């Protein structure tokens, strides 16, 4: 009887395998899209803070390098065509870190020196 259940479950697994693969691919694409959108929003936040003078040149450079590091992490994670949950968690953790750094630097009271005319 136990063998029957094993055979039945194996048959179900084999029959559902294409469906599961498609579901994993769709989830991977959604995670990648979410990460891409967040990267864009953070880049916009950096650009806005730079244009309003809320960041010094050094802060701007450091934050841009952090964003580049996260972008490279994303490229490596997506190199195999899939973004695993673990990779997505690592990317989101890096983006969380970058987001907090942007917020701290924008509101720390240091501003870009005004240029003399």
Q: Where are the chain's structural domains?
A: 2-106
End-to-end CA distance of the chain: 89
Which tens digit of pLDDT belongs to each residue from 13-67?
556 566 556 666 787 888 889 999 999 999 999 999 989 989 999 999 999 999 9
Which tens digit of pLDDT belongs to each residue from 58-101?
999 999 999 999 999 999 998 988 888 999 999 999 999 999 99
More confident residue, 9 or 36: 36
pLDDT value of position 19 = 58
pLDDT value of position 111 = 79
pLDDT value of position 95 = 96
Residues comprising the chain, all counted: 117
- Per-residue pLDDT at 7 exceeds 60: no
């Amino acid at each position: 009887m136990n063998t029957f259940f094993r055979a039945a479950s194996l048959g179900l697994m084999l029959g559902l395998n294409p469906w599961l693969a498609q579901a994993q691919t769709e989830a991977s694409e959604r995670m990648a899209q979410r990460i891409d959108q967040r990267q864009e929003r953070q880049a916009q936040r950096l650009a806005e803070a730079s244009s309003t003078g809320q960041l010094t040149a050094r802060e701007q450079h450091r934050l841009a390098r952090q964003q580049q590091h996260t972008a490279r992490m994303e490229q490596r994670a997506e190199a195999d065509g899939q973004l695993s949950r673990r990779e997505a968690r690592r990317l989101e953790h890096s983006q969380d870190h970058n987001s907090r750094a942007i917020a701290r630097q924008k509101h720390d009271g240091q501003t870009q020196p005004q240029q003399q005319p």
